[in-house]
Amino acid sequence: MSIEKVREYFRAFGIEDRIMEFDVSSATVPLAAKALGCEEAEIAKSMSFKDGESCLIIVTAGDGKIDNRRFKDTFSMKATMLPGDKTAELVGHAPGGVCPFAVNDGIRVFLDVSLKRFEKVYPACGSSNSAIALTIEELEKYSAFDGWVDVCKGWREDEL
Say what the pLDDT of residue 52 is. Answer: 86
Q: What is the pLDDT of residues 48-95, one digit of tens each?
A: 999 988 899 999 999 999 999 999 999 999 999 999 899 999 999 999
| All domains of the chain in start order, with CATH | 2-159 (3.90.960.10)
Q: Report how far apart the first and last C-alpha atoms of the chain are (Å, whole number).
A: 39
pLDDT in tens, 83-131: 989 999 999 999 999 999 999 999 999 999 999 999 999 999 999 999 9
Q: Are 123 and 99 in contact (CB under 8 A)?
A: yes
Predicted structure pTM score: 0.95
Enumerate the H helices of the chain as residue ranges: 2-11, 29-36, 68-75, 84-91, 136-143
* Res 160: pLDDT: 57
